[in-house]
Amino acid sequence: MKIFYYTLRELNAWLEFFIRYTPGRIGNLLRNFYYKNRSKNSFSNNRFETGFRVEFPKNVRISSNSYFGLNCKIYACETSIVEIGRNVSFNSNVMINARGIGKILIGKHVLIGPNVVVRSNNHNYEKPDIPIINQGMTNGEIIIEDNVWISSNCVILPNCTIGEGSIVAAGAVVTKDVEPYSIVGGIPAKKIGSRKL
């Protein structure tokens, strides 16, 4: 029985590898078909570049008319959820990570630049006598509202809401809520401008 289980897992890993890295239009069609059926979504007109991966797809909801660049990763688990609105654009190497007990909600018309990390959980580290790897994770949620631009190389940390129409400047680390229509930058991110008239 164990041999059958491990063989099935191995075959599934090879299938996912093939689907993930098949190039061109055929690869995009395979990824659309595979993730639409695995996640029970009814999206259409999405483009998934090579390297796109979804972990625990039944807890990931993807809408339509969106672009996911090279090597984008979306991680969920049994106790977490990721929801992505329509008409979003993820550049290359974006990681959306809601593992643990977490939630990430991304609105519509959102732009996310290359190498951005959005992580709803973090490691506990309060006990110096216990290795951090053994201290578990915090719970958290991230909300990215509609019409937001997150520039390249940003990190969005747990329990933040990025307000509608705001911009996060390149390289920023967001540790608290961002007001709607504001521009933030730096480490930690602070308000550096406004988009309001």
Q: What is the pLDDT of residue 40?
A: 74
Q: What is the pLDDT of residue 2?
A: 81
Active site positions, annotated: 123
What confidence tens digit (pLDDT) does each residue in 21-46 have? Answer: 999 999 999 999 998 888 878 899 99
Mean pLDDT of the residues in the chain: 93
Element (DSSP H or E) covering residue 82: strand 81-84
Domain ranges of the chain: 2-194
Q: Looking at residue 18, what DSSP letter applies?
A: H
Give the list of residues 6+ apart from residue 89 with CB closer than 8 angstroms, or none.
Answer: 66, 67, 110, 111, 112
Q: At residue 145, does pLDDT exceed 70?
A: yes
Give the list of residues 6+ apart from residue 65 with CB closer than 8 angstroms, or none.
Answer: 44, 45, 46, 86, 87
Lowest mean pLDDT among 43-47, 113-117, 165-169: 43-47
Average the pLDDT over 52-65 and give the result.
93
Architecture field, domain 2-194: 3 Solenoid (2.160)
